[in-house]
Amino acid sequence: MRHRTRAGTLGRTSSHRTAMYRNMVTSLLDHERIETTDAKAKEVRRLAERMITLGKRGDLHARRRALRVIRNRKVAAKVFDDLAERFRDRPGGYTRVIKLRNRAGDAAALSIVELVESASAAQTRGKGKKTAAKKGETAAETRKKAAPRKKAVGKKASADEATASKKKTSKKKTAKKAKTEKKAEAKTASKKKTTAKKKTKKKTAAAKKTSKKK
């Protein structure tokens, strides 16, 4: 009987097939979304979900097993740090396959393999949990948290604020003085130019009159 023949060979040798799966799994875990044929997508999904479960396990033996498949150490670190925390509360089903179209040329069925939760969705979910926890607090707890903050603000903090405000005002005054000095210099330079132009006009007019008399 033909046991252990669930997956197809995809027209490749075993070494070529395993190398292709390893490369595709690393790219999927790195970019979190790839496009390939439907048959490849189903096989890559199985391996990617195994890697995420190893990342959730987190021990040394799991890291060594994952590095047998994942080709990049940075991607492996992402699996054991980022993806493990992202899918901590999910018991399985970390990826999904979306069918797209038939490829032009050989009419192969194309599909997309992607992770179920993106990084932005996980961040928003974490923020929602924090806000819900804050809403669940009582008014007395919030007052207790706010009380030590008020005590910490004392004479030193007020003195620092006063010195900072003085520095700001002194900087503004110096900037205003510099602006006024620049304006005064510009006015004097314009006056000198106008007087020089008037003198030259008078000289030219006198020279013309003398030439006419001659």
pLDDT 10s digits, 77-90: 999 999 999 999 99
Q: Where are the beta strands (DSSP E) in the chain?
A: 33-37, 95-102, 109-115
pLDDT of residue 152: 46
Angle, alpha carbons 86-89-94 (nearest 5°)? 60
- What is the percent of the chain with per-residue pLDDT over 90, rounded to a whole number? 49
Segments making up each domain of the chain, as ranges? 14-116
- What is the percent of the chain with per-residue pLDDT over 70, rounded to a whole number? 80
How many angstroms separate the first and last alpha carbons of the chain?
Answer: 133
- The DSSP 8-state label assigned to residue 97 in this structure reads E
Tell me the per-residue pLDDT of 148-170, one tens digit each, with 9 for 90 and over.
Answer: 554 444 555 667 777 777 788 88
Tell me the per-residue pLDDT of 3-35, one tens digit each, with 9 for 90 and over.
Answer: 888 778 888 999 999 999 999 999 999 999 999
pTM over 0.75: no
pLDDT of residue 121: 67
Tell me if 34 sits within 8 A of 27, measured CB to CB: yes
Rounded Cα distance between 104 and 51, Å, is 33
Q: If you average pLDDT over every residue of the chain, what do you get?
A: 84
In degrees rounded to 5, what are phi and psi of residue 209?
Answer: -65, -45
Superfamily of domain covering 14-116: Ribosomal protein L17 (3.90.1030.10)
